Structure 1
Amino acid sequence: MPATETHSTQTSLEDRLGRWVRRYLHGFWGMFVLFVLKQGWACLFGGLLLGAILASHYLWSPHWPIHRYDALFIFALVTQALFLLCGLETRQEAMIILVFHLTGTAMEWFKVSAGSWAYPEPGFFKLMHVPLFSGFMYASVGSYMARVIRVFDMSFVPYPRFALSLTLALAIYANFFTHHFLPDLRWGLVLATLVLYGRCWIRYRIVGTHFWRMRLPLAAFFSSIALWVAENIGTFTGTWLYAHRHFTWVVHPQKLVSWYLLLYVAFITVTLLLRPDRAAADRA
């Protein structure tokens, strides 16, 4: 499907959603419901994968001929293919997802080998003790990031120098590995995100021509809460097991910091292709 046709399909679906909501709801509540629905639409891939994890936990039998992890891998592959065929993602967005998929899988290999967490169930599509569907969990974050920017017609003002953004992303990604051997710099990196992006506003459009805005670090914090909740669901289902689970499945709130930082890696991965700094220069 050509890129222009894909974009047209997505726009048509989103326009119909907006018209349906505004037909029944008006004013603040109509705007709020549309905002929530568009957020859900943006994280559709992640929502479907999380739903599959939850459903398979209750429905799967160890006696079935295919392992649960393998079924989740096949489900993720088919879902990704359908997104492309049906025009729910552009090829550019798919490239972003692939990059984040690869970086996420590399992190999974390291974290599992370091004993941070484990995948206890068997699977054919499992490499270095990591089921291959796990990379799609990171890909879903990249998918959300790319889609939410497009769905809400986001711009970032003022966008920091791209070289500084890329350096920060590399430092955050490296710290996920090096903190096992060297001092953990996560709080220093959180401070760096506030210094670099503290002045950056996300300008977004829910409907019509009116733009709303929110500070980028605040948006990252809200998104990290959603990811932490999703992580708790996966932990509750036993899809992965943490090394230190003291009679509770609730993930420690400190993981919010990890998700907050990972979102910047996802955001800057998206900007490798979308480059909002160049878009802002073109508008100026």
Structure 2
Amino acid sequence: MSRFIRQLWHFGVEQALSCLFPVIIFAALLLFQLVPIPYVPRYDAMLIVCIAAQWIMLRTKLETWDELKVICVFHLIGLALEIYKVQMGSWTYPQDAYTKIAGVPLYSGFMYASVASYLCQAWRRLDVELRRWPRSYFTIPLGAAIYLNFMTHHFWWDLRWVLTVLLFIVFLRTVVTFRVKDARYGMPLTLSYLLIGFFIYVAENIGTFLGAWRYPNQEASWNLVSLGKLSSWFLLVIVSFIIVAQLKHVKKGLEEPAGPAKGTTGAAIEK
């Protein structure tokens, strides 16, 4: 039992360190709600905090240049989705700001980037490996279809449940393993998607409570985000995971010395 507690404690510490950037974002949201900065709109202050946090994490080596590149990619992808969703009336950013584009504050992209930050940090800290990762010609189109469905469902069929069935088929054999001190553990990859998606849903409720953004049904007073959003976060985590995994796969291929071709069946994508 004592070994189990030690392992659980170490796992919790590594997870907490991996969540550093998301924690900074939520702490800043709470701080600026309680203590407004004179003459500086809240959303603009959040952008300054996010940029400063990334700079400090990079300088202190809590984050690597490769991880920062991934975070920047997610910022752009998230910002594009935010602009589209706000224009479609899915949610709003009711407060004024100088750094708004089409009604969306620039800091909002960092909320998506914080998911990438967590994935990259946890991948490195826990020595994550993916066993039996599907071929790219399955994962890349699936990830693109999930992302596009977030936009197209406003004027076409919502294919989220079709895509959910497909992803369970595509990732049926895939296992994620991670190291806690001297032991390695594993779980089905789809289970990890569900767990991460659930915690993002919890974070979303905290974010809307702190006024980071508002859904239409929260304009009059705050209430819990619809449980239906769990499926959205589940799918978004998959897109995030696919992007990070593919980038790591590409990097690993570039770093390997040229030589005889190796079989890839059952191989792990390592950090």
- Fold shared, TM-score > 0.5 on shorter chain: yes
Q: Is 1:42 matched up with 2:18?
A: yes
Output aligned runs, 1:268-283, within 5 Å: 268-275=242-249, 281=264
**194, 212, 217: which is aligned to 2:190?**
217
Output aligned runs, 1:222-261, within 5 Å: 222-245=195-218, 247-261=221-235
For the residue of structure 2 that corresponds to 1:118, the secondary structure is: coil
- The code of the aligned residue for 2:29 comes to I
For residues 13 and 231 of structure 2, the distance between their equivalents in structure 1, rounded to whole angstroms, comes to 26
For residues 145 and 283 of structure 1, the distance between their equivalents in structure 2, rounded to whole angstroms, comes to 17
For residues 99 and 265 of structure 1, the distance between their equivalents in structure 2, rounded to whole angstroms, comes to 12
- The code of the aligned residue for 1:99 comes to V
What whole-Å deviation, never above 9, does each CA across 1:9-56 have from its counterpart, x for those lacking one? xxxxxxxxxxxxxxxx94111111111111111121111111111222
What whole-Å deviation, never above 9, does each CA across 1:47-85 have from its counterpart, x for those lacking one? 111111122222226xx1111111000000000111111
What is the aligned residue count? Answer: 257
Q: Is 1:174 matched up with 2:145?
A: no
For the residue of structure 1 that corresponds to 2:217, the secondary structure is: coil
- Equivalent residue number for residue 147 of structure 1: 121
- The code of the aligned residue for 2:189 comes to L
Q: Is 1:105 matched up with 2:90?
A: no
1:239, CA displacement in angstroms? 2.1
What whole-Å deviation, never above 9, does each CA across 1:212-270 have from its counterpart, x for those lacking one? 00111101101111100110011112221112337542101110110010011111111
Cα contact 1:120–1:239 (8 A) shared by 2: no
Cα contact 2:129–2:268 (8 A) shared by 1: no
Of residues 242-251 and 127-136 in structure 1, the stretch that sits farther from structure 2 once superposed is 242-251
For residues 251 and 34 of structure 1, the distance between their equivalents in structure 2, rounded to whole angstroms, comes to 32
Cα contact 1:92–1:273 (8 A) shared by 2: no
For residues 187 and 54 of structure 1, the distance between their equivalents in structure 2, rounded to whole angstroms, comes to 35
- Equivalent residue number for residue 55 of structure 1: 31
For residues 167 and 35 of structure 2, the distance between their equivalents in structure 1, rounded to whole angstroms, comes to 42
Cα contact 1:119–1:131 (8 A) shared by 2: yes
Q: Give the aligned CA root-mean-square deviation in angstroms.
A: 2.0
Q: Give the gaps of 5 or more residues in structure 1.
A: 1-24
Normalized against structure 1, the TM-score is what? 0.86
Normalized against structure 2, the TM-score is what? 0.90
For residues 39 and 35 of structure 2, the distance between their equivalents in structure 1, rounded to whole angstroms, comes to 14
Q: Give the gaps of 5 or more residues in structure 2.
A: 257-262
- The code of the aligned residue for 2:20 comes to L
Over 3 Å counting, the alpha-carbon distance change for 1:60 and 1:48 in structure 2 is same
Q: Is 1:78 matched up with 2:52?
A: yes
**82, 85, 90: which is aligned to 1:116?**
90
1:195, CA displacement in angstroms? 0.8
For residues 106 and 268 of structure 2, the distance between their equivalents in structure 1, rounded to whole angstroms, comes to 41
